[in-house]
Structure 1
Amino acid sequence: MYFSVLMSVYIKEKAQFLDRALKSIYDEQEKRPNQIVLVEDGELTDELYEMIEIWKNKLGEILEVVKLEKNSGPGIARAKGIEKCKFGLIAIMDSDDISLQTRFKKQLEIFENNPNLDACGSHIGEFENDENKIYAYREVPQNHDEIVKFAKFRMPVNHPSMMFKKSTVLKAGNYKDERFGEDYNLCVRMLLSGAKFYNIPEMLVKMRAGKSQLSRRGGLKYAISEFKVQREFYKLGFLNFYEFTRNASVKFIVRLLPKAILSKIYSLLRSKN
């Protein structure tokens, strides 16, 4: 089965992280991608340009670089990248994460054995500095019905681990021009369009999260963004009025909590096994 990998990178990313991410999805994979689409989301640093050039020379036509004149955010970057993906299956990869060597092989096997499946993710492990020291796991429901129920309150798929059908994403309207919750929004629209989801119940991606990031998305700005996400789900008909008011109230208040408390809440939502 042929497939593409979609990544985007912006100016604040580190060249060595991008290099490690690319090694994990190409050099180390048991099943290598047939195409890697890398979206440059606005102007980058010289170090990033140099690293991208090294990989272009190494991979040739396998690596397709898409340049955006200005930083447009992950929604627009991924939407443009989706359009450039040549194959029917697309795997998402963040430019500072690490995919385990069996990730693509296992996801492709799931699609081969389940032709009606539209999206497949997995558990992820979070690390701060050392990729071999996982401090928490982000576990998600395995089967479709459980995923739908879970989606009513939280993102039911670990987005950096997703592989999905390009046709299904386009049917749902592709990624939108959003800088917050663009992955959750796409997931909900895919579910509403009839897409079938599955999560492999094991860690296939290591996420460079950092404990400091657990409490970073707090404050009024993110509280308002959270409210808008829930309002959009209500407008789409994914949430009823009770679910909307419950989610909007709880999530708005949580975003306004002191960072120390917010960090503890995020930690409680992750497995330490």
Structure 2
Amino acid sequence: MAKTANVSVVIPCYNAEKTILRALDSIVDQTLLPKEVIIVDDKSIDNSCDIIKNYIKEQEKRVSIKLIELDKNAGPAKARNVGWDNAKEDYIAFLDADDSWHPQKIALQYSYMEDHPDIAMSGHLYKIVHNRPTLCKKRVEKVERISKRKLLVRNRFSTPTVMLKRIIPFRFRENKKYSEDYRLWLEILFAEYKASFLYSNLCFLYKNTYGVSGLSSSMMNMWYGELDNYKFLYTNNDINLLEYIFVLLLSFFKFLKRQIFIVFRNFGRKS
């Protein structure tokens, strides 16, 4: 019997019929399997649920996979929270339905978390790919402790790279459509939980993290979501006025840098 880790994998799913099998295969192919996988379907209108149900039957002897179907579309924050609340294992690992993991992801990250019980949350590097990634043996090159001040300056945690302790009392803000994951990481660290970042590419994203459609309104909304996070910290007295002004200015310059990058990237594609 394959070795397992005390990990619940949570996957929000919405109209992911073209990518969900790739995500699930990357879990089943782990060198250290999770004890359970919880897929929360956010009222898909394609064939996602049928594909998942067939996959569950095929893999029932190898890994426990549970499908929860929401009654109405509520967004990824709600779906992740439902999965989290239904999880039974010590750790939660998040994966999106259109991303995938390196086969050693759980083994390396889970081992680190078990060896460092003071760490409540960890993340790692990811790689943006457009085709099937080349897989090679991985190891953690180095580990960086992420303080709340470091996280305030830059969000280090992409959601599909995060593993955290199930008992953490915070959840994704379901009324936030943008930057709700960053809000959660900030709340966790400003509540004095400890976090680490592992330098190893253990996740594959199949689209750019911002500016996929050029100068889109969603990119502006992501920025507004980030500003709302900083306002929350300030009104909650987690940061002082000088820190608040600093992160607002820093956020603006980062936003401007991304806009300029996308303009040049799109210009290069046309030329």
2:72 aligned residue: 70
Question: Contact 2:178–2:221 (CA<8 Å) still a contact in 1?
Answer: no
Q: Structure 1 90/221 Cα, relative in aligned 2: closer, same or farther at 3 Å?
A: closer
- One-letter amino acid of the structure 1 residue matched with residue 116 of structure 2: N
1:6 aligned residue: 10
Q: Within the alignment, does 1:166 sit opposite 2:166 as a pair?
A: yes
Q: In the aligned structure 2, how far is the partner of 1:69 from the partner of 1:40? A: 9
Q: Aligned to 1:209, what secondary structure does the other structure show?
A: coil
**Counterpart mapping for 1:132-211 below 5 A:** 132=133, 142-144=143-145, 146-168=146-168, 170=169, 173-177=170-174, 178-210=176-208
1:96 aligned residue: 98
2:128 aligned residue: 126
Once the two structures are aligned, what percentage of the paired residues are identical? Answer: 20
Q: In the aligned structure 1, how far is the partner of 2:6 from the partner of 2:221? A: 41
Q: Structure 1 101/259 Cα, relative in aligned 2: closer, same or farther at 3 Å?
A: closer
Q: Within the alignment, does 1:109 sit opposite 2:106 as a pair?
A: no
Unpaired runs of 5+ in structure 2? 136-141, 266-271
- 1:249 Cα deviation after fit: 4.0
Q: Within the alignment, does 1:45 sit opposite 2:46 as a pair?
A: yes
**Counterpart mapping for 1:222-241 below 5 A:** 222-241=222-241
Q: In the aligned structure 2, how far is the partner of 1:253 from the partner of 1:221? A: 16
Unpaired runs of 5+ in structure 1? 135-140, 267-273
Q: In the aligned structure 2, how far is the partner of 1:161 from the partner of 1:234? A: 27
Q: Output one character per residue of 1:155-212: Cα deviation in whole Å (capped at 9) or x when no partner.
A: 12222111110002x2xx2121121111111111111222111111111111112375
Q: In the aligned structure 1, how far is the partner of 2:161 from the partner of 2:85? A: 20
1:213 aligned residue: 212
- One-letter amino acid of the structure 1 residue matched with residue 262 of structure 2: S
Question: Contact 2:13–2:44 (CA<8 Å) still a contact in 1?
Answer: no
Q: In the aligned structure 1, how far is the partner of 2:115 from the partner of 2:222? A: 40
Q: Structure 1 265/222 Cα, relative in aligned 2: closer, same or farther at 3 Å?
A: farther
- One-letter amino acid of the structure 1 residue matched with residue 96 of structure 2: D
Question: Contact 1:147–1:156 (CA<8 Å) still a contact in 2?
Answer: no
Q: In the aligned structure 2, how far is the partner of 1:176 from the partner of 1:90? A: 17
Question: Contact 2:147–2:194 (CA<8 Å) still a contact in 1?
Answer: no
Question: Contact 1:43–1:69 (CA<8 Å) still a contact in 2?
Answer: no
- One-letter amino acid of the structure 2 residue matched with residue 187 of structure 1: W
Question: Contact 1:31–1:102 (CA<8 Å) still a contact in 2?
Answer: yes
Q: In the aligned structure 1, how far is the partner of 2:20 from the partner of 2:217? A: 23
Q: Aligned to 1:200, what secondary structure does the other structure show?
A: strand
* RMSD, aligned α-carbons: 2.8
TM-score of the superposition, structure 2-length normalised?
A: 0.82
Q: Structure 1 155/20 Cα, relative in aligned 2: closer, same or farther at 3 Å?
A: same
- One-letter amino acid of the structure 1 residue matched with residue 22 of structure 2: R
Q: In the aligned structure 1, how far is the partner of 2:6 from the partner of 2:212? A: 35
Q: Structure 1 245/19 Cα, relative in aligned 2: closer, same or farther at 3 Å?
A: same
